């Protein structure tokens, strides 16, 4: 990960972009260049803020994915309106607090990503290879920590579908009761106890393999595409265009690309965890039987909006904080 001043000046991942004139600058702020005591607290604050603002998109995406065909919702807007009319704003934040544990897993995620990049840099790997492998390893660690909380969170998210579904399918397989005035904490505890009663500890890792198959490639490709798009945008954009803006756009484009490629895997993961299916093959067969080729597009609009918004916001926070936390010796080579 250690980038020398010579590498910075040469125009590689941490140097000036081709086609951009002017003094050399650091394109990628590496792990060893930052003050970690500044980076970690600010990173967690940024992650929590982004999740607060964009979590309703996660709820909408999940409910669209687990419904049978289009029995409950006709699309993203219809889903959002029905949830808001029946439950108000709190309905769009079902499962938020239990899902917020991802802020902690995010620390392990980014530490793993940057640590793997550091090791690969010492081995002489290119910056896109570092991004690909680092992103995959980071997701492996992150998913191992977050899956149990994700399982509980997704069950909480779909409880509100009962009011909209009527007799159209079982969208509350655990039979958890949710009535007005009951705290979300108590509901989450009930979900956790019911999972433990039915399946034991292994129930909290239901869909773990599917999560790895969906998110490890997604994370690996996202970071690789992020650097690819960043390099290309730096090459074609004039020097006056903000480098931070280029990075945010590159993140959004990376999110679009990986979402389209991995959408069916994410649906299978969600259904395994919510519908309590026995295996990925069963989930795939059920999804194909219901949707045929539409399985590639089910919930895709909501997931594209969610992915683009999250990617833009996360990169905006992440790269801004890296600039704030960078050591003084590198500040003169940082371009906003």
Please give the tally of structural domains in the chain.
Answer: 1
What is the C-alpha to C-alpha distance for residues 176 and 192, in angstroms, rounded to an integer?
Answer: 10
Kindly report the number of other CB atoms within 10 A of residue 37's CB atom: 9
Is the residue at 224 inside a domain?
yes
CA distance 18 to 329: 24
pLDDT digits (tens, 9 = 90+) for 310-329: 888 888 988 898 888 888 88
Instruction: Write out the E strands in the chain.
Output: none
For range 67-73, the mean pLDDT? 71
Higher model confidence: residue 204 or residue 162? 204
Q: Report whether pLDDT(202) > 70.
A: yes
Give the pLDDT of residue 16: 38
Give the residues across from 172 on adjacent strands.
Answer: none
Predicted local confidence at residue 17, as pLDDT: 41
Q: What is the pLDDT of residue 246?
A: 92
* Domain housing 316: 32-331
The stretch 250-264 carries a mean pLDDT of 87
Q: What is the mean pLDDT of residues 103-120?
A: 85
Distance (Å, whole) CA 303 – CA 324: 31
What does each C-alpha distance from 291 to 96, 245, 298 come to in angstroms? 29, 38, 8
Does a structural domain hold residue 6? Answer: no
CATH number at residue 245: 1.50.40.10
Residue 299 counted as domain residue: yes
* Three-state SS at 326: strand
The label of the residue with tokens 């050399």 reads 24
> Is residue 25 a part of any domain in this protein?
no
How does residue 248 score in pLDDT terms, banded at 50, 70 and 90?
A: very high
Please provide the DSSP assignment of 16-66 as one string. PPTT--SS---SS--GGGB-HHHHHHHHHHHHHHHHHHHHHHHHHHHHHHH
The pTM (predicted TM-score) of the whole model is 0.70
Q: What does R_g of the chain's alpha carbons equal in angstroms?
A: 21
Q: pLDDT tens digits for 115-161?
A: 898 888 888 888 788 888 999 999 899 888 888 888 888 777 777 66
Q: If pLDDT is split at 50, 70 and 90, which confidence band does 229 have? A: very high
**More confident site: 20 or 275:** 275
For residues 211 and 270, the answer to whether their CB atoms sit within 8 Å is no
Q: Does residue 10 lie in a domain region?
A: no
- The string of pLDDT tens digits covering residues 13-57 is 334 343 334 446 777 787 788 888 888 888 888 888 888 888 888
Q: Is residue 129 part of a domain?
A: yes
Residue 8 confidence (pLDDT): 28
Where residue 175 falls among pLDDT bands split at 50, 70, 90? low
Contact call for residues 98 and 153 (beta carbons, < 8 A): yes
12 pLDDT tier (thresholds 50, 70, 90): very low
Q: What is the DSSP letter of 160?
A: G
The answer for residues whose C-beta is within 8 angstroms of residue 171's C-beta and 6 or more apart is 66, 67, 72, 158, 161, 162, 165, 274
Q: Is residue 250's pLDDT more than 90?
A: yes
Q: Is the pLDDT of residue 249 over 90?
A: yes
The rounded distance, in Å, linking the Cα atoms of 135 and 321 is 19
**What tokens does 55 get?**
């979590």
Establish if 150 belongs to a structural domain.
Answer: yes
The verdict on residue 21 lying in a domain is: no
């Amino acid at each position: 990960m250690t980038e020398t001043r010579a590498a910075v000046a040469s125009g590689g991942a941490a140097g000036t972009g081709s086609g951009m004139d002017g003094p050399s600058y650091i394109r990628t702020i590496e792990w060893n260049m930052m003050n970690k005591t500044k980076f970690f607290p600010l990173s967690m604050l940024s992650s929590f803020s982004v999740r607060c603002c964009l979590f309703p998109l996660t709820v909408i995406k999940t409910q669209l994915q687990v419904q049978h065909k289009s029995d409950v919702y006709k699309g993203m807007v219809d889903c959002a309106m029905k949830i808001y009319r029946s439950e108000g704003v709190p309905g769009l934040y079902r499962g938020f607090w239990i899902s917020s544990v991802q802020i902690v897993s995010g620390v392990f995620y980014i530490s793993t990503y940057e640590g793997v990049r550091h090791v690969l840099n010492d081995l002489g790997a290119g910056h896109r290879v570092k991004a690909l492998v680092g992103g995959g390893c980071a997701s492996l660690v992150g998913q191992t920590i977050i899956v149990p909380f994700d399982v509980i969170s997704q069950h909480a998210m779909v409880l509100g579908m009962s009011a909209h579904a009527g007799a159209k399918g079982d969208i509350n397989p655990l039979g958890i009761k949710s009535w007005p005035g009951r705290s979300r904490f108590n509901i989450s505890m009930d979900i956790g106890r019911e999972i433990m009663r039915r399946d034991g500890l292994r129930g909290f890792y239901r869909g773990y393999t599917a999560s790895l198959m969906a998110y490890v490639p997604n994370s690996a490709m996202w970071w690789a595409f992020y650097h690819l798009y960043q390099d290309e945008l730096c090459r074609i954009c004039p020097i006056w265009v903000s480098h931070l803006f280029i990075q945010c756009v590159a993140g959004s484009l990376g999110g679009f690309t990986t979402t389209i490629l991995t959408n069916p895997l994410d649906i299978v993961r969600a259904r395994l965890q919510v519908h309590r299916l026995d295996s990925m093959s069963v989930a795939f067969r059920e999804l194909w039987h219901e949707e045929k080729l539409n399985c590639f597009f089910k919930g895709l609009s909501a997931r594209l909006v969610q992915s683009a918004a999250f990617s833009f916001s996360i990169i905006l926070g992440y790269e801004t904080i890296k600039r704030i936390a960078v050591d003084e010796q590198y500040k003169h080579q940082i371009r906003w």
